[in-house]
Amino acid sequence: MFTQLKDIVPKTAAKFGLKRQFDAAYICQMYRKHAPGIFGNEKCLENAYPKSFKNGTLYISVKNGAYGQQVFMYRKKLVDKINEGLKGDVLKEIRTVVG
């Protein structure tokens, strides 16, 4: 029986001390995957995109306060959706940064 690559990569990253970096990349990728469906807008990634992940917080760069408000309204749904694919609650909160 074969083991899927998606099961091997996180374990290997942890083995080599790269779990934090892997989680950050994975969380940013999952935001890009799920945000359009949650916001109901395919162009949302042009206006609100992942900037960084640090200490359980995903920072989203937004073009202006209106997009920041939209991210704020859907932050709980985004956190829950992203954490579904992780072991445990790695993502604790989402904050926005205008710029």
Helix (H) or strand (E) holding 35: helix 19-39
The tally of domains found in the chain comes to 1
Give the pLDDT of residue 69.
94
pLDDT confidence bin for 1, thresholds 50/70/90: confident
What percentage of the chain has pLDDT greater than the value 90?
A: 64
How much is the pLDDT for 22? 87
Structural domain of residue 74, as residue ranges? 5-98
Q: Is the pLDDT of residue 87 over 80?
A: no
DSSP string, 44-59: HHHHEEEEEEETTEEE
- The whole-chain average pLDDT of the chain stands at 90
Residue 59: CATH number of its domain: 3.30.300.180
37 vs 12 pLDDT, higher one: 37
